[in-house]
Homo-oligomer: A and B are copies of this chain.
Amino acid sequence: MKRLGILLSGRGSNFLAIADAIAEHRLDAEIAVVISNRPDAPGLAAALERGLHAISFPSQGLDREIYDRQLIEGLRAHHVDLICLAGYMRILSGYFIREFPQRILNIHPSLLPAFPGLDAQHQALEHGAKITGCTVHFVDEGLDSGPIIAQTPVPVLDQDTVESLSTRILQEEHRLYSKAIALVLSGNYRIDGRRVISSML
Contact = CB atoms under 8 A, between A and B. Distances in A.
Copies of this chain, count: 2
Contacts of A115: 113
A25 interface: no
Interface centre among A135, A195, A201 (most CB of B within 10 A): A195
Nearest to A125: B195
Given A130-B148, A130-B151, A159 B194 contact: no
Contact of A127 (B125, B127, B149, B194): B194
Contacts of A194: 126-128
Interface string A176-197: 0000000000000000011111
A153 B131 contact: yes
Contacts of A152: 131
Given A113-B114, A114-B114, A128 B158 contact: no
A121 to B, nearest CB: 14
B113 A111 contact: no
Contacts of A130: 135, 148-151
Interface of A: 111-115, 125-131, 133, 135, 147-153, 158-159, 193-198, 201
Contacts of A196: 128
Nearest to A149: B130
A111 B114 CA distance: 9
